[in-house]
């Protein structure tokens, strides 16, 4: 009897937990249009909200880079300091250079990047879309 009850109620409990676990199926990446090259010319970073993700777009010598604005320390949104040509995080004063590398403060690693795709004059970035 105990075996049966464990099996029966155990499965029921298992179903409950399956219900509660959110779906973490493979995320699909989609290319989202940010705009034209002309819109993003210039040395300062531009902030864009793409499908819920906060992105900082910057023109570098290697082309356009798209960084996640989530600071790699504890997740606050970084801002851009034009005078110093750097990303600053207001929470614990983390600093990133224009290539996303963490140069000062608590952040343990460089900023996360989004893949940038350039098609003609248009700039797309690849983000996860549900």
Which residues in this chain contact other proteins in the complex, by CB under 8 A?
A: 1-9, 11-12, 14-16, 18-21, 23, 30-34, 36, 48-51, 119-122, 124, 129-130
DSSP codes joined into one string, 5-53: HHHHHHHHHHHHHHHHS---PPPEEEEEEEEEGGGG-SSS-EEEEETTE
Q: Which is nearer to other proteins, 24 or 83 (CB)?
A: 24
Q: Which is nearer to other proteins, 40 or 99 (CB)?
A: 40
Q: Which is nearer to other proteins, 58 or 127 (CB)?
A: 127
**What is the closest distance, in whole angstroms, from the C-beta atom of residue 118 to other proteins in the complex?**
12
CB of 108: closest distance to other proteins in angstroms?
A: 31
Torsions phi, psi of 51, nearest 5? 50, 40
Are 96 and 78 within 8 A, CB to CB?
yes
């Amino acid at each position: 009897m105990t075996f049966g009850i464990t099996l029966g109620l155990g499965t029921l409990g298992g179903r409950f937990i399956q219900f509660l676990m959110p779906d973490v199926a493979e995320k699909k990446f989609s290319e989202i249009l940010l705009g034209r090259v002309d819109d993003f010319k210039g040395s300062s970073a531009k902030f864009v909200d793409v499908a819920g993700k906060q992105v900082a777009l910057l023109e570098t010598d290697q082309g356009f880079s798209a960084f996640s604005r989530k600071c790699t320390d504890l997740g606050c949104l970084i801002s851009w300091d034009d005078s110093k040509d750097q990303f600053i995080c207001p929470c614990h004063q983390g600093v990133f250079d224009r290539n996303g590398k963490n140069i000062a403060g608590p952040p343990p690693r460089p900023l996360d990047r989004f893949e940038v795709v350039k098609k003609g004059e248009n700039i797309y970035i690849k983000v996860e879309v549900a």
